[in-house]
Amino acid sequence: MIIKSLMGIMALLALPMSTFAASETPGWLQERMFASGKINTVVMVVGVVLIGIAIWMFALDRRIGKLEKNAKGKK
């Protein structure tokens, strides 16, 4: 439940970022990344890292939940 609310908040916070980014002129780093095609690699790596962190957090949440149930059952 906490993860769903955090994901919702992160999605809402990300909406204004795209409008601010679109209004700026591209810098030298952006021009080089887009021109060489390396931006796709960067986006994929960041995506894989974020997905990995999300999966790890989900698994950790399940493990902690099981430990809490076991602790309540023993009392």
| Residue matched to tokens 């990344």 | 33
Interval 54-65 mean pLDDT: 96
- Residue 17's Cβ-side half-sphere holds a number of Cα atoms within 13 Å equal to 5
Torsion sign over Cα 19, 22, 25, 27: positive
Q: What percent of the chain has pLDDT over 70?
A: 77
For position 74, what pLDDT does the model report? Answer: 80
How confident is the model over 5-39, as pLDDT tens digits? Answer: 777 777 767 666 555 555 566 677 777 777 787 88
